[in-house]
Amino acid sequence: MLINRLISIAPMMECTDRHYRYFSRLIAPSVLLYTEMVTTGALIHGDYQRFLAFDPIEHPIALQLGGSEPEKLAHCAKMGADFGYDEINLNVGCPSDRVKSGRFGACLMLDPSLVAECIAAMSSAVSIPVTVKCRIGVDHQDSYEALVNFIDTVAKAGCKVFIIHARKAWLNGLSPKQNREVPPLQYDVVRKIKQDFPDLTIILNGGIKTLSHIDEQLPYVDGIMIGREAYSNPYFLSEIHDKYYPDVNKSLSRQEIISHFIPYVEQQLKKNIKLASITRHILGLYQGQPGARKWRRYISEHAHKPKAEVIIIKEALKYV
């Protein structure tokens, strides 16, 4: 299938699991969704069906992999393709210590030739797109020339789509959260990459929180990836849907979204999924609306209780 990359939701650890993706798909039917990063070790040695499972409603959906061994990445890319994913993405941007010690994520930007080997192997294993998500630099290797070399090397290996977080990553001294906030945003660097590589698809990621932010950057890149704002304020996706996908049905109201989500929740509870692991994703639905704080508080105080049922969500609706 041809993937519309105009707007996408970033892969976010402990956020973009299948419950959040189902929920966000109800709000925005057409944006491109990404899984949390899944390591090759987790898929090869763990419960791969649990990691790869998704609902058909989630299409279009991309699987993000973490790893640095070409053969293992190729194997896992094929697993993802066989499961029905529309894209396989290689994480070359996550700066956490755990990622660094495992030799994947942002530290791979320091070894473009290895990333190229990984992309070549993955691309040869699947027929769906293989893409890269990276930063504009790492530690003191943050010159524009270094970024150009990285993009050029990996593109020659077959990668045609680069999602670029417009911040550099510090592998030492900053936490993952600080790495999302402290290094300054440099949108101009991503714009210049698009100018210098016009045949590549360049997606801009980092700090985008409003429609005006999107409008400011879209003329210079091929698409925008939204991160934390899409999670903390999920109904922002309805604004995105109505503006950038006018040919699709108008977005649902918040109440309609919940009414559509409840049958899914009931289905998951029957599979012994805990209510709190699902409802944590919907706490921000009423952000900025009257009763939002009571909505969050009621769900937070009751959803974690043993044998909590969907009635908790229905009761919380009384406050909004």
94 is catalytic: yes
The label of the residue with tokens 């798909």 reads: 25
Residues in the chain: 320
- 71: Cβ contacts below 8 Å, ≥ 6 apart: 121
Write down the catalytic residue from 15, 76, 94, 159: 94
User: Over the chain, what HEC string results?
Assistant: CCCCCCEEECCCCCCCCHHHHHHHHHHCCCCEEEEEEEEHHHHHHCCHHHHHCCCHHHCCEEEEEECCCHHHHHHHHHHHHHHCCCEEEEEECCCCHHHHHCCCCHHHHHCHHHHHHHHHHHHHHCCCCEEEEEECCECCECCHHHHHHHHHHHHHCCCCEEEEECCCECCCCCCHHHHCCCCCCCHHHHHHHHHHCCCCEEEEECCCCCHHHHHHHHHHCCEEEECHHHHHCCCHHHHHHHHHCCCCCCCCCHHHHHHHHHHHHHHHHCCCCCHHHHHCCCCCCCCCCCCHHHHHHHHHHHCCCCCCCCHHHHHHHHHC
The label of the residue with tokens 């900053």 reads: 174
The label of the residue with tokens 């041809």 reads: 2
Q: Is the peptide bond before 11 cis (omega within 30 degrees of 0)?
A: no
Q: Which residues are catalytic?
A: 94
